[in-house]
Copies of this chain bind each other. A is one copy, B any other.
Amino acid sequence: MQNLTPLSAQFVAHFGEMGSRWGINRTVGQIYALIFVSEKPLNADEIADALEFSRSNVSIGLKELQSWRLVKLRHIAGDRREYFEAPQDVWEIFKNLAEERRRREIDPTLSMLRAAMLETPGNEADQYAQSRMKQMHELIELSSTWFDDVQRLSPETLARLMRMGSSVKTVLDMTDKLKSVGRRKAAGDE
């Protein structure tokens, strides 16, 4: 790799290797890694040059990264070329990625399952199959609306929640107790 320090080269190579596990390809992984660690935005030629990929390959890779919202297009005054950079805030990156994955990997399944819920099972086996699909549907629905909610929290709140770890349970229990007291004060049990 042209011009890369060992530190960056290692990072780029790792992203290349992991790319396929992450559902992007080697090239795309490397391009992203390069952009991520670069202080200033890069143009396609710089990337092709640094990674020794063909210009067209870089073009396709950048399209792919844009579709994942992993890179942002930037224009630099007095330069016609398109420059790319990764968002500064890693939380933003995380959220974009999660959203995009959800859109591609989860939502289609959710609608398939919703449709399956509406069918009338034809026999005993079908009835079981549908009940399994229902369980899956509920789990996915729950976790994805939860994700929606959490996503709306500020990075600070989110980080706070995470640092809290499993002690959320204690808080949850505490809240329950308070709520039940409130309920008892206000009216009878439901």
Q: List residues of chain A with CB under 8 Å of any chain B CB.
A: 5-8, 10-11, 14, 18, 21-23, 36-39, 90-91, 94, 104-105, 108-109, 112, 115-116, 119, 121-123, 125-126, 128-130, 132-133, 135-136, 138-139, 142-143, 145-146, 148-150, 152-153, 157, 159-166, 168-169, 171-172, 174-175
Residues of B within 8 A of A36 (CB): 132, 136
> Are A146 and B162 in contact, with the CB atoms below 8 A?
yes
Q: How far is the CB of A116 from chain B (nearest CB, A)?
A: 6
Which listed residue (B8, B108, B153, B166) contacts A18, Cβ 8 A? B108
How many Å lie between the Cα of A11 and that of B18 in the bound state?
Answer: 30
User: Known: A90-B136, A109-B14. Is A142-B163 also a contact (CB below 8 A)?
Assistant: yes
